[in-house]
Amino acid sequence: MRAEEMGKVSRRVRLTFAVSSVVFLAVLAISPVKDYRREWKRYERRYIRFAQGRPDSKRLLADSRPEIDQIWIPGMNVVDRCTTCHLGITQPSLIDASVPQPFRAHPGIPHRVRDWGCTVCHRGQGPATEVAEAHQTTLAWEQPILPTKFIQGACGACHRAGLPETPRLNRGRELLTKLNCVGCHRLQDIERPAMLGPDLTGIGAKVSRRWIYKWLKEPRTLTDSTGNVTVNGYETGPESRMPKFRLTEQELSGLSAYLSTLRGKPGETYRLNPAILATWSKRSDAADQGEVRFRQMFCSTCHSLAVTRAGETKLIGGNIGPELTKVGSKVNPDWLLAWLRNPQAYLPHSRMPRYQWSDEDLYLVSKYVETKLTDSDLLANAPQLGAPTDSEVQTGRLLFVEKGCASCHGVAGVNPQQDFGPDLSALGGKNISELFFGRANIPHTLVAYIRAKLTDPLSMTPAARMPQYDLEAEDLDAVTTALLSMTGNPATSGMQQLVVTRAQAASHPAGAFGEVYERYKCYTCHKFNGYGGDLAPDLSYEGSRAQRPWLIEFLKKPQTLRPTLVLRMPQFNMTDKEAATLADYIGMVLQSPAVNLAAVDEKQFTPAMAAVGKQLYEIKYQCQACHTIGSTGGYVGPNLENVGNWVTPAWIEAWLRNPQALVPGTIEPRRSFTEEEVKNLAAYLMTLRKSAKRQESAQAQASSFEGRIASR
Amino acid sequence: MNMRTWVTLLLLSLVTLASACRNRTAEPVPDPLVRAYDMESDWNDPQRTIALNYEQSQGKRVFYTQCVWCHADTTPAGPSNRSNVNPNPPLMNDGAALNKESDEYMRNLITLGGSALGKSAMMPPYGRMLSDEDIRDVIAFTRAIAVPAYQSPVRPGAQYSVK
């Protein structure tokens, strides 16, 4: 009995032990199985299978090890394990889009993955070893991967100066400046310019109260002959950098009343020569002649006009100055005359040049503006507002500051509110928990937040003061990218050292040259040693390039050098003295260290050399593919038919040896001419000269071409 | 051993197993343009946009500064120079003409110019002006916009055209 019992017990105990040890083993096995099934290990196994199926498997598998791979850069706080799964990232043969992710190679970028890690540019969580943890916002980590569309924002965190590789970021930064965002917000590395919107101290003398009302209500409408065409977006010209403020009728009447009382200091009304008035008032073609002058002076280089062709309205002309299609119905004629004669008297920071007008031209052009650039229906929808009452003016004065008008527009004696909008200089590095999404029904990400704010400022809170901008999809992406680049000061000293700051090099020379330079605002279109616009050629080395007689002639009567260009240098009607002053300065100061003018003497060129050079030009190198001489040749490079009068021989030789040494970024490819070929080509080019008479006729042709373009 | 113990053991092991599992979040559907560094519209069909990666978009920049004047019908400055060049240069998206040329051949043509390869001297050499990366990128861009689409060769590595 006992023995039996014992046997029974022990059998039971044995069974229990057996079962529990099986269970124990199973439980023990969980850990290795779980380890085996880890996400990154699965990717490693998949990569091995993938690589084995390819012809270059040996190279693909050369340094794959079954472990977590980590890039550790202590100075920059980088601990990136991304390469654990992204195993082919440095394998050039895996670049093709047909390679499945996560094994595709990284496109060739200037930063090597091993030296920089991944999260510096892509964000996300570097030490994570699971897909979701690394890529998405989780409870423990708020910075998700930056979508590739906005990745240029990460470049901008360190590269504060513009990079050619990041067009979207550059466009976004340009728009942030152009749209006057710094008027209300603090932005990283975008300084407040001297003038954001026009100064309104004298606005009452320029436009009527009804016009102000209409403009405040709907700043972006363009009406054509077929009815009302509303052109959304600032592309109607930089004037509509003015966004739409949602103003009530009461606010509109208050603001328009206040602004129409701002008259500035009354200037003297300019009286035109009565003889000219008498002659032209008898003729009926004054406005037509004015239009011709308007075109000949190349006003359209800076100003655009709306043209309707086949039912489609589009703007033709530049966007440096405001669009002028209806300016005749907008401005007061006396103001117009005073403005044309001296724009800086009304707006000290205006970029409009101070032309040398003859009374006749002044009369004709103003006549053209007043009679042809008009629209009798412009103010049709604006009510008759009458004379401003005191209470309206009081309301308007308060609103001017409260609505933020004063943040962009100066009025003498009015102080704007400091920091009107939130500080955005570190927006790009903000965590989701720091953002207020309010009632907006959007994904909780930084990108979605920025887009919602830009497309509909009221979507988060109805009390938002931000006005409405109508950005096109591409520009929305660009502005988003630029805002994402503003991450404030880098957290680590390693990153701090990487910041490439933007160079500020304003160039405003003094003296006689400085006066002419400021008068004609040369720097609006030309660059001088890194400062200025990029519409026209960089003139930093013009003194080494141009021959003085040609330069003076060109300044007095500009003509186009490149047949494909529509935008042209305006005709300033400069005096001889002014042209000489400019030519003196350019010749003495704006010299290239790469050109030694004294080293090349034109007399060394013989007709035999020129004949060889002609052969080289026409047959061996076929320069006519891009350059025109006479009536044949390409449109890409400048017309060379007068190059012997225009360019110095030293510049031609240096240019043929290495164009990029003289003008960085110029598109003429650097060739491998022998020294003899350089001499022969230069000899040939110096024989290309036009007589003054032929230049005249070419000019007449050019201006009629301009007329064709403008009326297109 | 009674039923109860078995059930308890089974439940315990199930719970243990379950604890090893975790719910996996669904990945959002990738939008091709969100993953693209830049884009270019198809020259033959402006409605279609082509996603470009970093290399291709750098190639786009080089193309629109250097090549566009003769290898496209519209240029940023208006009229194209293509018609002035004889023989007419191929359009850069002309897959029928360019897909059959290897990357190596294209690289040589851009680097050394047309006359070095027995083609028109009007194609200048760019080897002393553009970097190797620029040339690699501009070829990558050409491949990306090619119509009909470009198929990369099956064998990776250097290829040579039979020329």
Across the range A235-246, mean pLDDT stands at 62
What does residue B40 show for φ and ψ, rounded to 5 degrees? -145, 135
Q: What is the pLDDT of residue A167?
A: 92
pLDDT for A685-698, tens place per residue?
999 988 765 555 55
Backbone angles phi, psi at A447, to 5 degrees: -60, -45
Predicted local confidence at residue A470, as pLDDT: 77
pLDDT at A277 (0 to 100):
85
B163 CA to chain A: closest CA distance, Å? Answer: 23
Residue contact A147–B155, C-beta within 8 A: no
What's the confidence (pLDDT) of residue A399? 92
Q: List the beta bridge partners of residue A79.
A: A72
Tokens (6 digits) for A540: 């930093």
Chain A neighbors of B65, CB-CB under 8 A: 665, 667
Complex-level ipTM beyond the 0.85 threshold: no
A-chain CB neighbours of B132 within 8 Å are: none
Chain B CB contacts of A26 under 8 Å are 13
Rounded to a whole number of angstroms, the distance from the CA of B162 to the nearest CA of chain A is: 22
Torsion, Cα of B13, B14, B15, B21 (10° steps): 120
B69 touches chain A (CB under 8 A): yes
Examine the pLDDT at A47 and tell me if it is beyond 80.
yes
pLDDT beyond 70 at A236 = no
Residue B61 above 90 pLDDT? yes
Pairing of strands A312-317, B49-52: unpaired
Task: Specify the 3-state DSSP secondary structure of A118.
Answer: coil
Q: What pLDDT sits at residue A618?
A: 92
- The pLDDT assigned to A232 comes to 38
Are the CB atoms for A652 and A643 separated by under 8 Å?
A: yes
**Taking the C-alpha atoms of A581, A583, A586 and A587 in order, what is their torsion angle to the nearest 10 degrees?**
-120
Q: Are A550 and A646 in contact (CB under 8 A)?
A: yes
Q: What is the rounded end-to-end Cα distance, in angstroms, of chain A?
A: 119
Q: How far is B131 from chain A (nearest CA, A)?
A: 12
User: Does residue B134 carry a pLDDT above 70?
Assistant: yes
Q: Which residues of B touch A664 (CB under 8 A)?
A: none
A207: three-class secondary structure by DSSP: strand
pLDDT value, residue A560: 64
Indicate if the pLDDT at residue A701 is higher than 50: no
- Which is it for strands A632-633 and A628-629: parallel, antiparallel or unpaired? antiparallel
Q: Tell me the nearest-neighbour CA distance from A348 into chain B, angstroms.
A: 33
- Kindly tell me if the per-residue pLDDT of A7 is higher than 70: no
Rounded to whole angstroms, the Cα distance separating A407 from A400 reads 9
Distance CA A152, CA A497 (A): 19
Cβ of A147 and B35 within 8 Å? yes
What pTM was computed for the model?
0.84
Please check the confidence at residue B85 and state whether its pLDDT lies above 80.
Answer: yes
pLDDT of A441? 83
Cβ neighbourhood burial of A59 (10 Å; 0-12, 13-18, 19+)? middle
Segment B10-25, tens digit of pLDDT: 888 888 777 666 554 4
Residue B155: pLDDT band with limits 50, 70, 90:
low
Nearest CA in chain B to A9: B1
Q: How far is B77 from chain A (nearest CA, A)?
A: 6
What is the reported pLDDT for A222? 52
Q: Give the mean pLDDT of A56-81.
A: 86
Cβ atoms of residues A573 and A356 within 8 Å: yes
- Flag whether pLDDT at A706 surpasses 70: no
Contact between chains at A55 and B155 (C-beta distance less than 8 A)? yes
pLDDT band at A684 (very low <50, low <70, confident <90, very high): very high
pLDDT tens-digit map of A263-318: 887 777 788 888 888 888 888 888 899 999 998 888 888 888 877 777 676 777 77
Summarised one tens digit per residue, pLDDT across range A327-368 is: 888 899 889 999 999 999 898 888 899 998 888 999 999 999
CB contact under 8 A, A26 and B13: yes
CB-nearest partner of B61 from A33, A164, A634: A164
Q: From B152, which residue of chain A is nearest by alpha-carbon distance?
A: A96
CA atoms within 13 A on the CB side of A68: 15
The verdict on B87 touching A (C-beta cutoff 8 Å) is no
Asked, as a colleague might, if the bond just before A102 is cis with ω within 30 of 0, I would say yes
The partner residue sitting opposite A636, judged by closest CB among B27, B81, B155, is B81
What value does the mean pLDDT take over residues A134-154?
Answer: 88
**Distance in angstroms (rounded) separating the CA atoms of residues A279 and A283:** 7
Flag the least confident range among A412-416, A674-678, B113-117, B157-161.
B157-161
Q: Evaluate if residue A240 carries a pLDDT over 80.
A: no
Instruction: Find residues 99-118 of chain B whose CB sits inside 8 Å of chain A.
Output: 115
Mutate which: B7, B10, B29, B38, vs A, most A CBs within 10 A: B38
Q: What is the pLDDT of residues A273-283, one digit of tens each?
A: 888 888 888 88
**Residue A229 has what pLDDT?**
46
Residue A490: exposure state from Cβ atoms within 10 A (0-12, 13-18, ≥19): middle
Which residues 6+ apart lie within 8 Å of A190 measured at CB?
A173, A176, A177, A181, A182
Average pLDDT, chain A: 85
Asked which of A206-215, A402-411, A433-442 is least confident by mean pLDDT, the reply is: A433-442
Name A368's Cβ contacts closer than 8 Å, sequence gap at least 6. Answer: A286, A287, A288, A289, A290, A291, A293, A294
Distances from the Cα of A289 to the Cαs of A202, A362, A710, in angstroms? 31, 11, 15
CA dihedral A483, A485, A490, A496 (to 10 degrees): -140
Contact residues on chain B for A122, CB-CB shorter than 8 A: none
Tokens 């507002």 belong to A385
Lowest mean pLDDT: which of A273-277, A317-321, B49-53? A317-321
Q: What is the mean pLDDT of chain B?
A: 84
Q: Which residues contact A669 (CB under 8 A, 6 or more apart)?
A: A659, B66, B124, B125, B126, B128, B129, B130
What would the mean pLDDT of A122-140 be, rounded to a whole number?
A: 88
Contact call for A93 and B156, based on CB within 8 A: yes
